[in-house]
């Protein structure tokens, strides 16, 4: 049966029966006689998510097309052509005068090549494969790689955070000059926050990188991201947990964002990662790291780092909306959640309706913290009556901590102090890795409004 | 490197005949016969691109057909080559990578969104565009796919920000009747395929390392129809292009106007290989372009034969791929010192600004660089164009060579260079200058082109110039540049769609032509009517075979373009406005001679009711009396002229009277009357 699966990869009834009738499997070259005329090509595997009615042919011209089963009169097998695609391994050149960088893989593809027939992306990950596809890496450093897991970004979770933190610790201990982590972009900022708390005061850069356009396309941001991240890890002066992604949408420079202040802000733009409430740490361009902030943690020669790989999973993030009913909060308490981050409105508000539930949480020892769905600005609960009332109910304001960062931090803090809620609370209220800042610079909040003449002028001059 | 390129659509790039007629005399387009082209082994295929008339673009909801007026922003990108199927870089990729171009896209908010600049995945494919392309494919009698798969066709030249064009196969293997009586052509023209794809950007400029594009046109749906390479003379290419374009236009669902239709031609001659001339907008430019290209290939094959005779092996022209060639190869030298203070401005200026001047020795190439390959163009330009495009040199000029004696540097200097490079009299030298890195690329490219010369005709795409010559554009892309677009799901083409479309197909142009000929129209008149915008008006008149049909076709052809030229809006009346005129002529209430004038009035006076206009042209009872008066009025003068001969006098008199009598009275009757008057007055 499993053989059949390979032979008829992805095909189900009614196509399957027709293929069997005419002795056709995937990778067969066929001449198909159909009610819509004659077609010649190579039978490709069928995607599992596509319908069951069509046979996919790759034509000699390189085009693919589907033939519907009920148009097929006969299939004539004229040959067989199977190929397996592999990234060529080329020995990564070593140069003792260059720094050593460790690349940890989580499953997102940063470098890859294509199976030109199916369109499947074949990831390049080993140093040899990476050298084959991004040879410029060898000009930057000596590269070692470890593939830790193969999960999509959306499936990254506490288990992976812990493994990742431990591996970063190990790489630092082994004397690497920098660590690069390849990661899917969707939850990169969650993982960046987790590592910021779990790997404290690293002596070398720990840099997360991914791509918004997969590397099988010529316009991909992958190579520039990988090269910039690797450069910053090998040579950059900043020893923090950071995200390194495109600055503008143009291919010009990358930005290094602090792991606790960065957020993915657009579903598909290349310049999707932004530092919120502050300015980015640095620009990276053509082998040069240009710090924008002065108060970064500098690279050190020692190997001292605090690894605190813990996470309490019973925490949650509640996005408040007007007229929210208390039963939501109640059910979280009943389900045994130990901590709740609320993303509140305005300066950190929720409606009176849920006060009883907040009171219940307090009684039940469930910690409740306030962050902002405005993303920018500080929680300031003393300004209005509502805020003061909520404070009375034991809700703890988290200054300008981003909601997702609050969620990650709470999981970590309760993990570090599983039996000491008060210590966890103290930890939450102390800035560990820049997640809460004492002040917001005037240009920490910049969302330009399109269409305004001066913005248009700016874009014309500066965007590219 | 170019030797490995191949377009997968063409089983082979090479002309099936391998015997170039090297001793064939070069002739001009006008001097060539069909037999001459047969002797050359000339063959040509077409790729006809036709924008489809949709409101929106193919994969996003931006308006199609809008030309940008205002610059809102610019985006800068680079194209990084991707690994081929074999894990290597293919010819084009390598070339474009070598150029290290900065690509700038100009954006206007109204005409593009984040999709076009590759910051958003594609939206659903435009259904109208799919249906129109099914209609066009049906007109070509193509076998239709039952599920449409969007593919990515890689382009690294920057013309599409993603680095690939989204394209989908619609139909394959069709043919249409190809009948051109004046060329003696009466056969089928096979159509290989029709695909639906998104249009690319408009190039604004390409200078040095920076290429700039407008993005407004990007993403507009277009069909690409590919013919088999079966057009055997330049005039057949013209006729074929016309036929293919016309077939798409007959749907009424395609865009017209500048840039809406563009064709690429694939030309080869015996012993040569397919070269592609890109983006020709006017059919009338095609014959000369393909003719000149045929002889360019023949002349490159002559150069090849001579080089073979001289016996230089390809390996001798190989330069190391990395590093500075003048440090690594005896074929190249940095000759900045030798040429310092030389009495030639471009080189002197280059040296004064710290640029590099290199000299490349091409063993056994002496004399060949001056060989003519196109009218007014020598073989040396093949090198210069490759170097300009690939190494991005911008100075003018940026190179000279030893086959030209009276330009550039003195013969003493050439002698010094020969000594320096150990060149003998059979060797040619090329001197190239510019920024160091670019000159290194240039030296390599000179050797690459020289190696290609040993193989004959390089596989390249060429751009068309107005004088009929072409210039190097890029190496033809490699075979494996097509792969599935994982961003778009396959689209099922239901039987119902096909049935609906095919039950309502417009009449095919060749059928229409036959129908017109059957009505009694001459082949030429039938053809011009078939292509005319008023052919639908003609069809609506319900004419029967015979003289009247001919007359109406003629009248339309004379009247409408005339009115248009004289500034009247090309408003076409509905058939029901014109039909009473036809009936009146049939019933002899309006003379057939008045048809054209009445038709013109119906068109140019749209606000006047048709019966009022018709009334003006009706045959009236008082006409004999009116003729009498007119004849009387000119009688005296008629006799005077009559002295010079009757014919002259009558011709003059008809000219005077007929405009007043047109359509009211047959010219024969008028002439009879005038003869009568002349006779009566001359001999009283
Ligand atoms: Zn758009």
SS (H, E, C) B108-155: CCCCCCCCCCCCCCCCCCCHHHHHHHHHHHHHCCCEECCEECEEEEEC
Q: Quick check: helix, strand or coil at residue A339?
A: strand
With CA atoms as reference, the chain B residue closest to A71 would be B146
Using the 8-state DSSP alphabet, how is residue B408 labeled?
S
Q: Which residues surround ligand 1, an ion (CB under 5 A)?
A: B 60, 62, 113, 115-116
Does the bond joining B397 to the residue before it have cis omega, within 30 degrees of 0?
Answer: yes
> Rounded to whole angstroms, how far apart are CA atoms B235 and B224?
21
Beta strands at A206-209 and A178-182: parallel, antiparallel or unpaired: parallel
**A118 and B CB contact within 8 Å:** yes
* Contact between chains at B163 and A219 (C-beta distance less than 8 A): yes
CA of B115 to the centre of ligand 1 (A): 5
Torsion-angle region of A27 (φ positive above 0: left; ψ -120 to 50: alpha; else: beta): left
Helices B623-642 and B667-682 pack at an angle, to 10 degrees, of: 50
When CB atoms are compared, the residue of A61, A67, A218 closest to B163 is: A218
* Contact between chains at B193 and A61 (C-beta distance less than 8 A): yes
Nearest to A275 by CA among A291, A286, A259: A259
When CB atoms are compared, the residue of A116, A456, A464 closest to B483 is: A116
pLDDT at A464: 53
Residues B83, B191 contacting (CB under 8 angstroms): no
**A64 and B CB contact within 8 Å:** yes
B639: phi then psi, degrees, rounded to nearest 5: -70, -40
Per-position DSSP letters for A120-187, written without gaps between them:
-EEEE-SHHHHHHH-GGGGGT-EEEEEE-----GGG--HHHHHHHHHHHHHHHHTT-SEEEEE--STT
What are the residues facing A282 on neighbouring strands?
Answer: A256, A291
> Rounded to whole angstroms, how far apart are CA atoms A189 and A92?
30
Nearest to A284 by CA among A216, A215, A220, A238: A238
Residues B403, B370 contacting (CB under 8 angstroms): yes
* Contact between chains at A60 and B11 (C-beta distance less than 8 A): yes
* Contact between chains at B143 and A251 (C-beta distance less than 8 A): no
> Rounded to whole angstroms, how far apart are CA atoms B571 and B606?
8
> Rounded to whole angstroms, how far apart are CA atoms B57 and B255?
13
Residue B43 tokens read as: 């063959």
Beta strands at A339-344 and A241-246: parallel, antiparallel or unpaired: unpaired
> Rounded to whole angstroms, how far apart are CA atoms A33 and B423?
63
Q: Quick check: helix, strand or coil at residue B232?
A: coil
With CA atoms as reference, the chain A residue closest to B85 would be A116
CA of B106 to the centre of ligand 1 (A): 14
- Please identify among residues 44-63 of chain A the ones whose CB lies closer than 8 Å to any CB of chain B: 49-51, 53-54, 56, 59-63
Q: Quick check: helix, strand or coil at residue B642?
A: helix
Residues B175, B204 contacting (CB under 8 angstroms): no
Nearest to B616 by CA among B631, B603, B597: B597
Angle at B364 between CA B362 and CA B366, to 5 degrees: 80
What are the residues facing B154 on neighbouring strands?
Answer: B164
Give the CA radius of gyration of chain A: 26
CA of B65 to the centre of ligand 1 (A): 12
With CA atoms as reference, the chain A residue closest to B148 would be A65
Residues B160, B147 contacting (CB under 8 angstroms): no
> Rounded to whole angstroms, how far apart are CA atoms B151 and B156?
16
Residue B218 tokens read as: 């990007």
* Contact between chains at B85 and A220 (C-beta distance less than 8 A): no
When CB atoms are compared, the residue of A119, A220, A456 closest to B72 is: A456
Catalogue all structural domains in chain A, each as residue range(s) with its CATH number. Answer: 2-80 (2.30.30.520), 100-307 (3.40.50.1170), 315-428 (3.40.50.40)
Residue bearing tokens 């019933």: B587
Residue B684 tokens read as: 């009283």
Helices B595-604 and B547-565 pack at an angle, to 10 degrees, of: 40
> Rounded to whole angstroms, how far apart are CA atoms A40 and A17?
20
Name chain B contacts of A38, Cβ cutoff 8 Å: 143, 173
CA of B247 to the centre of ligand 1 (A): 29
Residue A41 tokens read as: 């090509």
Q: What's the order of all strands across the beta sheet hosting B73-77?
A: B73-77, B102-107, B210-214, B202-207
* Contact between chains at A217 and B168 (C-beta distance less than 8 A): no
Q: What's the order of all strands across the beta sheet hosting B428-434?
A: B332-334, B356-362, B428-434, B399-401
CA of B125 to the centre of ligand 1 (A): 12
Using the 8-state DSSP alphabet, how is residue B489 labeled?
-
> Rounded to whole angstroms, how far apart are CA atoms A421 and A413?
9
With CA atoms as reference, the chain A residue closest to B77 would be A251
**A65 and B CB contact within 8 Å:** yes
> Rounded to whole angstroms, how far apart are CA atoms A182 and B577?
73
The catalytic residue positions of A are 109, 185-186, 264
CA distances from B514 to A44, A286, B142, B242, B502 (A): 44, 67, 22, 17, 21
Name chain A contacts of B167, Cβ cutoff 8 Å: 63
pLDDT at A244: 97
Give mean pLDDT in consecutive 10-residue pieces for chain B, a chain of 684 residues: 38 83 93 96 96 95 91 88 61 54 92 93 95 97 96 89 95 94 93 97 91 95 96 96 92 88 94 93 94 97 95 88 88 93 91 95 95 95 92 89 88 93 94 93 93 93 94 77 87 95 93 91 88 85 85 86 66 84 86 84 85 83 77 78 78 81 73 79 64
A367: phi then psi, degrees, rounded to nearest 5: -80, 135
> Rounded to whole angstroms, how far apart are CA atoms B529 and B577?
19
Residue partners of B77: CB distance under 8 A and separation at least 6:
A219, A250, A251, B103, B105, B118, B158, B161
**pTM across the whole model:** 0.86
Residue A63 tokens read as: 């085009």
> Rounded to whole angstroms, how far apart are CA atoms A426 and A322?
30
Using the 8-state DSSP alphabet, how is residue B11 labeled?
S
pLDDT at B663: 64
Other CB atoms within a 10 A radius of the CB of residue B354 amount to 9
> Rounded to whole angstroms, how far apart are CA atoms A396 and A424?
12
Residues A47, B484 contacting (CB under 8 angstroms): no
* Contact between chains at B114 and A269 (C-beta distance less than 8 A): yes
CA distances from A105 to A102, A145, A168, A263 (A): 10, 7, 11, 21
Tens digit of each residue's pLDDT (9 = 90 or more) over B249-292: 999 899 988 788 999 999 999 999 999 999 898 999 999 999 99
A244: phi then psi, degrees, rounded to nearest 5: -120, 105
Residue A148 tokens read as: 């830790």
* Contact between chains at B83 and A132 (C-beta distance less than 8 A): yes
Sign of the torsion angle spanned by Cα atoms B132, B138, B139, B140: positive
When CB atoms are compared, the residue of A65, A83, A251 closest to B149 is: A65
pLDDT at B92: 46
Name chain A contacts of B168, Cβ cutoff 8 Å: 63
Beta strands at A111-114 and A178-182: parallel, antiparallel or unpaired: unpaired
- Please identify among residues 216-245 of chain A the ones whose CB lies closer than 8 Å to any CB of chain B: 216-220, 223
> Rounded to whole angstroms, how far apart are CA atoms B464 and B237?
15
Length of chain A: 464
When CB atoms are compared, the residue of A59, A63, A67 closest to B146 is: A67
Beta strands at B261-268 and B43-51: parallel, antiparallel or unpaired: antiparallel
> Rounded to whole angstroms, how far apart are CA atoms A222 and B232?
48
> Rounded to whole angstroms, how far apart are CA atoms A230 and B631?
102
Name chain A contacts of B162, Cβ cutoff 8 Å: 213, 217-219
Residue partners of B379: CB distance under 8 A and separation at least 6:
B299, B300, B303, B368, B369, B370, B371, B372, B373, B453
Name chain B contacts of A88, Cβ cutoff 8 Å: 87-88
> Rounded to whole angstroms, how far apart are CA atoms A199 and A304?
11
Query: In chain B, how long is the greatest CA-to-CA distance?
Result: 109
Length of chain B: 684
B492: phi then psi, degrees, rounded to nearest 5: -75, 135
Residue by residue, pLDDT tens for chain A (464 residues) are 457 788 998 899 999 999 999 999 999 999 999 999 999 999 998 988 889 999 999 998 889 999 999 999 999 999 998 866 666 667 788 999 999 999 998 876 676 666 666 666 677 777 777 777 788 888 999 999 988 887 777 889 999 999 999 999 999 999 999 999 999 899 999 999 999 999 999 999 999 999 998 877 888 899 899 999 999 999 999 999 999 999 998 888 999 999 999 999 999 999 999 999 999 999 998 789 999 999 999 999 999 999 999 999 999 999 999 999 999 999 999 999 999 999 999 999 999 999 999 999 999 999 999 999 999 999 998 888 888 999 999 999 999 999 999 999 999 999 999 999 999 999 999 999 999 999 999 999 988 898 898 888 888 776 65
Q: Quick check: helix, strand or coil at residue B218?
A: coil
pLDDT at B12: 65
> Rounded to whole angstroms, how far apart are CA atoms B277 and B338?
41
């Amino acid at each position: 049966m499993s053989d059949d699966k390979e032979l008829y990869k992805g095909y189900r009834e009614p196509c399957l029966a027709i293929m069997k009738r005419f002795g056709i499997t995937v990778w067969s070259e066929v001449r198909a006689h159909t009610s819509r005329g004659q077609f010649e090509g190579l039978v490709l595997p069928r995607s599992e998510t596509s319908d069951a009615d069509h046979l996919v042919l790759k034509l000699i011209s390189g085009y693919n097309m589907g033939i519907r089963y009920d148009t097929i009169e006969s299939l004539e097998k004229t040959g067989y052509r199977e190929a397996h695609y592999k990234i060529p391994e080329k020995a990564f050149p070593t140069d003792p005068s260059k720094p050593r960088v460790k690349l940890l893989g989580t499953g997102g593809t940063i470098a890859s090549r294509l199976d030109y027939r199916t369109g499947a992306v074949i990831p390049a990950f080993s140093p040899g494969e990476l050298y084959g596809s991004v040879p410029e890496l060898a000009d930057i450093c000596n590269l070692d790689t470890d593939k830790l897991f193969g999960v999509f970004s959306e499936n990254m979770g506490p288990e992976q955070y812990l493994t990742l933190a431990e591996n970063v610790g190990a790489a630092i201990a082994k004397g690497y000059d920098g660590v690069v982590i390849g990661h899917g972009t969707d939850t990169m900022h969650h993982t960046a926050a987790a590592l910021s708390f779990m790997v404290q005061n690293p002596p070398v850069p720990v840099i997360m990188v991914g791509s918004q356009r997969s590397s099988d396309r010529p316009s991909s941001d992958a190579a520039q991201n990988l090269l910039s991240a690797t450069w910053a890890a090998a040579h950059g002066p900043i020893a923090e947990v950071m995200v390194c992604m495109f600055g503008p949408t143009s291919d010009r420079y990358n930005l290094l964002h602090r792991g606790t202040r960065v957020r993915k802000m657009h579903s598909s733009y290349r310049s999707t990662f932004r530092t919120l409430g502050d300015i980015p740490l640095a620009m990276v361009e053509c082998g040069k790291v240009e710090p924008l902030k002065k108060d970064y943690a500098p690279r050190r020669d020692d190997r001292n780092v605090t690894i605190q790989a813990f996470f309490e999973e019973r925490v949650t993030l509640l996005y408040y909306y007007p007229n929210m009913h208390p039963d939501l909060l109640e059910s979280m308490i009943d389900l045994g959640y130990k901590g709740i981050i609320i993303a509140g409105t305005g300066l950190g508000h929720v409606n009176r309706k849920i006060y009883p539930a907040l009171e219940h949480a307090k009684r039940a020892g469930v910690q409740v913290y306030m962050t902002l769905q405005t993303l920018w600005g500080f929680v300031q609960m003393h300004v209005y009556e509502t805020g003061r009332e909520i404070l009375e109910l034991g809700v703890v304001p988290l200054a300008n901590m981003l909601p997702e960062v609050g969620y990650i931090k709470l999981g970590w803090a309760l993990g570090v102090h599983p039996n000491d809620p008060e210590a966890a609370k103290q930890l939450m209220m102390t800035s560990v890795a820049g997640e809460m800042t004492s002040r917001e610079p005037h240009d920490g909040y910049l969302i330009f409004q399109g269409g305004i003449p001066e913005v248009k002028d700016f874009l014309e001059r500066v965007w590219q | 490197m170019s030797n490995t390129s191949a377009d997968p659509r063409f089983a082979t790039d090479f002309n099936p005949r391998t015997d170039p007629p090297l001793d064939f005399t070069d002739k001009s387009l006008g001097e060539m016969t069909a037999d001459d082209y047969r002797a050359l082994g000339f063959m040509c295929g077409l790729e006809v691109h036709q924008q489809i008339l949709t409101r929106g673009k193919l994969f996003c909801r931006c308006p199609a057909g809008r030309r940008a007026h205002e610059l809102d922003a610019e985006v800068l990108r680079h194209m990084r080559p991707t690994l081929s199927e074999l894990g290597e870089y293919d010819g084009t990729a390598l070339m474009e990578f070598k150029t290290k171009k900065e690509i700038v896209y100009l954006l206007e908010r109204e005409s593009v969104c984040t999709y076009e600049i590759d910051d958003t995945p594609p939206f659903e494919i435009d259904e109208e565009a799919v249906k129109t392309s099914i209609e066009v494919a049906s007109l070509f009698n193509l076998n239709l796919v039952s599920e449409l798969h969007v593919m990515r066709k890689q382009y690294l030249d920057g013309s599409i920000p993603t680095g690939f064009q989204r394209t989908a196969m619609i139909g394959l293997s069709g043919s249409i009747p190809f009948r051109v009586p004046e060329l003696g052509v009466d056969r089928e023209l096979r159509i290989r395929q029709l695909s639906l794809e998104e249009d690319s950007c408009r190039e604004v400029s390409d200078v040095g390392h920076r290429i700039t594009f407008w993005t407004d046109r990007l993403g507009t749906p277009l069909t690409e129809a590919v013919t088999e390479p079966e057009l055997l003379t330049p005039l057949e290419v013209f006729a074929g292009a016309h036929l293919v374009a016309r077939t798409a236009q007959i749907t009424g669902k395609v865009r017209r106007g500048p840039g809406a239709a563009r064709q690429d031609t694939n030309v080869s001659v015996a012993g040569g290989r397919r070269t592609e001339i890109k983006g020709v907008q006017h059919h009338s430019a095609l014959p000369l372009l393909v003719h000149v290209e045929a002889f360019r290939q023949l002349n490159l094959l002559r150069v090849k034969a001579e080089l073979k005779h001289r016996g230089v092996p390809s390996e001798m022209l190989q330069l190391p791929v990395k590093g500075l060639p003048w440090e690594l190869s005896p074929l190249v030298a940095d000759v900045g010192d030798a040429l310092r203070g030389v009495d030639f401005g471009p080189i002197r200026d280059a040296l004064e600004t710290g640029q590099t001047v290199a000299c490349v020795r091409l063993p056994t190439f002496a004399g060949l660089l001056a060989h003519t390959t196109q009218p007014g163009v020598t073989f040396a330009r093949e090198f210069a164009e490759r170097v300009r495009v690939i190494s991005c040199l911008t100075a003018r000029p940026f190179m000279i060579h030893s086959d030209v004696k009276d330009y550039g540097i003195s013969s003493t200097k050439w002698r010094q260079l020969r000594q320096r490079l150990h060149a003998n009299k059979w060797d040619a030298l090329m001197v190239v200058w510019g920024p160091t890195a670019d000159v290194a690329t240039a030296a390599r490219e000179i050797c690459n082109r020289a190696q290609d010369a040993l193989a004959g005709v390089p596989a390249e795409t060429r751009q068309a110039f107005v004088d009929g010559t072409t210039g190097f554009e890029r190496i033809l892309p490699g075979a494996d540049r097509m792969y599935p677009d994982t961003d778009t799901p396959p689209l099922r083409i239901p039987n119902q769609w096909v049935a609906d479309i095919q039950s309502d197909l417009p009449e095919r142009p060749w059928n229409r032509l036959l129908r017109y000929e059957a009505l009694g129209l001459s082949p030429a008149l039938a053809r011009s009517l078939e292509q005319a915008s008023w052919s639908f008006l003609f069809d609506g008149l319900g004419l029967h075979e015979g003289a009247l049909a001919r007359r109406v076709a003629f009248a339309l052809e004379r009247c409408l373009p005339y009115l248009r030229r004289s500034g009247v809006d090309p408003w076409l009346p509905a058939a029901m406005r014109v039909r009473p005129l036809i009936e009146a002529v049939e019933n002899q209430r309006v003379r057939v001679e008045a048809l054209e004038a009445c038709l013109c009035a119906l068109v140019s006076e749209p606000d006047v009711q048709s019966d009022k206009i018709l009334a003006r042209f009706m045959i009236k009872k008082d006409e004999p009396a009116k003729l009498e008066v007119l004849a009387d009025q000119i009688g005296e003068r008629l006799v005077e002229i009559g002295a010079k001969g009757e014919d002259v006098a009558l011709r003059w008199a008809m000219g005077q009277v007929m405009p007043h009598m047109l359509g009211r009275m047959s010219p024969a009757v008028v002439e009879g009357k005038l003869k009568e008057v002349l006779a009566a007055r001359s001999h009283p």
